[in-house]
Structure 1
Amino acid sequence: MFAVDAHAHVFSKNDSCIATARYTPDYDASVSEYIAHLDQHQLTHGVLVQPSFFGTDNRVMLQAIAQYPDRLKGIAVVDHVIHINELILLNQQGIVGIRLNLFGKNLPNFSDKAWNTLFNHLSFMNWQVELHAPPAYLVQILPILRSYQLNVVIDHFGRIDPIKGMQDPAYQDFLNMLDVNQHWIKVSAFYRLGQSPENIDVASQAFALLRAKGLLHKLVWGSDWPNTQHESKVSYASVVEAFHKIVPDEQERQQILGQNAQNLYAF
């Protein structure tokens, strides 16, 4: 049965990290180990996401995809002035979109001509833009991206603020902005929403809200493996178990893992 893990990372402790990295790993998360997790949980495909600590150097991820080109695709991090020829080369190596990780950063000036050019290139190539940002940023970015023919993928439920919770006005505004024609949401990383790994209430509430808004067919699941900074409390098996609790209906889980992911990633 076709099933996709739409969010994972690979790296080793010996890889070079950028000088400004907020976190650097002291262990290995190899692609062979990741594939073993997929196999163990009957997942046929995976999407690798460029970790923030590598910046725009996507080589580790590209090498991993090259080992399993039929099973893996990737989301890269690029400089916003990148030439389209470089994007085409990345496309040939299994990359299907870019990630904007804006935690700890100022909001870019997306009205700048270079950003406009980049988004038009991504649209031309049928790539996606993945947003990892707090709700206060999302509500500013989503209106800007409306004018582009792009799939916009929002990481980790929209990163609900752990203190303000679901009632955060910015998160409520974000929910109201969601457009079934453009937006996708990752059912992933519940443990980054501020609660203990055992407590998945916030993620369950978020899923119920998204489902009620008619967005079930725009949800994909990701393990967020190897669950950086939460490794001691979270395992691949435990996030799979959590997914079953957040989405208790088997048919809906199969839709999220299967048809939804196929529609977005076109494996």
Structure 2
Amino acid sequence: MFAIDTHAHVFSKNDPCIATARYQPDYDASVSQYLAHLDQHHLSHGVLVQPSFFGFDNHVMLDAIAQHPKRLKGIAVVPYTITINELITLNNQGIVGARINLFGKELPDLTSIEWKSFLNHLSFINWQIELHAPPSYLVQILPYLAEYKLNVVIDHFGRIDPEKGILDPDYQSFLQMLDINQHWIKVSGFYRIGKFPENVARATQAFELLKAKGFLPKMVWGSDWPHTQHESSVNYSQAFETFKQIVTDPEDRKLILGENAKNLFYF
């Protein structure tokens, strides 16, 4: 049976981080540890996501996928100047999408020739684009991406502002912008949208709002293991149990973990 964790990271404390990294791990999160978590929770497959502290150097993730190509796929971080041939090479190595992490960065000009070319390349090779951005950025970016035949995957419920909550006007605008034909939501990273137990309540409310909009077929789950910068407050089992607390219907959980993720990540 397919059951997929669509968001995790692997690294070691000895891997070189980029000079501008806002966070550098002081511990190991190995692929063998990750697979042990999948096995413990009866999950058949996983998707590795390139962490921001490695920049464009995806080799740690690629090495992990190469060891377990039938079980793992990846989302890379690449420069928007990358060539189509370089993207095809990554595609052949198990990469199925590109991540754009905009926390701590300026909003990119998606109308530039380079960005348009990049987005067309992603569409050509049938990759998804994964957005990790605050609601104030999402509401500006999504209209531009609507021009492209791309699956747009939005991390961590759309990163509800911990201070403003779900009633944040930008978050409400983001919810109104969602298009069932293009957008996917990751039911993940609940601990990044406020303090416990408020964060669980917010995540549950966001899930119910999305389900009411008919978005159940476009939601996937991710553990966000090893929960960087939140290691002391959450572990894999807690992340999985909280998912079951947020999504109470077993049939909804089965869809999110199985068919939805299988469709999005081409397992």
Q: Same fold judged by TM-score > 0.5?
A: yes
- RMSD over aligned CA atoms reads 0.8
- Show structure 2 runs of 5+ residues with no match: none
Per-residue CA deviation, residues 75-96 of structure 1 (Å, 9 max, x unaligned), is 0000000011100000000000
Q: Which amino acid in 1 is paired with 2:257? A: L
Deviation at 1:46, TM superposition (A): 0.3
Identify the residue that residue 250 of structure 2 maps to in structure 1: 250
SS of equivalent residue, structure 2 residue 48: strand
Q: Does the Cα contact within 8 Å between 1:191 and 1:197 map onto a contact in 2?
A: no
Per-residue CA deviation, residues 99-147 of structure 1 (Å, 9 max, x unaligned), is 0000000001111101100110110100000000000000000000000
The reply on whether 1:178 has 2:178 as its aligned counterpart is yes
- Show structure 1 runs of 5+ residues with no match: none
- Write the distance in 2 (CA, Å) between the matches of 1:170 and 1:233: 28
SS of equivalent residue, structure 1 residue 253: helix
Identify the residue that residue 35 of structure 2 maps to in structure 1: 35
Identify the residue that residue 70 of structure 1 maps to in structure 2: 70
Q: Which amino acid in 2 is paired with 1:255? A: L
Describe the shift of the 1:153–1:199 C-alpha distance in structure 2 as closer, same or farther (beyond 3 A).
Answer: closer
Q: Does the Cα contact within 8 Å between 1:128 and 1:151 map onto a contact in 2?
A: yes
Per-residue CA deviation, residues 162-221 of structure 1 (Å, 9 max, x unaligned), is 000000000000000000000000000000001226851000000000000000000000
Identify the residue that residue 200 of structure 2 maps to in structure 1: 200
- Write the distance in 2 (CA, Å) between the matches of 1:197 and 1:30: 30
What is the 5 A alignment of 1:15-34? 15-34=15-34
Q: Which amino acid in 1 is paired with 2:266? A: A
| TM-score of the two chains, using structure 1 as the length reference | 0.99
Per-residue CA deviation, residues 9-64 of structure 1 (Å, 9 max, x unaligned), is 00000000000000000000000000000000000000000000000000000000
Q: Which amino acid in 1 is paired with 2:96? A: V
Identify the residue that residue 55 of structure 2 maps to in structure 1: 55
- Write the distance in 2 (CA, Å) between the matches of 1:91 and 1:197: 40
Identify the residue that residue 238 of structure 2 maps to in structure 1: 238
Identify the residue that residue 155 of structure 1 maps to in structure 2: 155
Identify the residue that residue 104 of structure 1 maps to in structure 2: 104
Identify the residue that residue 115 of structure 2 maps to in structure 1: 115
| TM-score of the two chains, using structure 2 as the length reference | 0.99
- Write the distance in 2 (CA, Å) between the matches of 1:28 and 1:134: 28
Q: Would you say how many aligned residue pairs link Structure 1 and Structure 2?
A: 267
Describe the shift of the 1:199–1:135 C-alpha distance in structure 2 as closer, same or farther (beyond 3 A).
Answer: closer
- Write the distance in 2 (CA, Å) between the matches of 1:195 and 1:151: 31
Identify the residue that residue 83 of structure 1 maps to in structure 2: 83
- Write the distance in 2 (CA, Å) between the matches of 1:76 and 1:197: 32
- Write the distance in 2 (CA, Å) between the matches of 1:234 and 1:198: 15
Q: Does the Cα contact within 8 Å between 2:4 and 2:44 map onto a contact in 1?
A: yes
SS of equivalent residue, structure 2 residue 100: strand
Divergent runs of 4+, >4 A: none
- Write the distance in 2 (CA, Å) between the matches of 1:199 and 1:34: 25
Q: Which amino acid in 1 is paired with 2:106? A: N
Q: Does the Cα contact within 8 Å between 2:193 and 2:199 map onto a contact in 1?
A: no
Q: Which amino acid in 2 is paired with 1:42? A: H
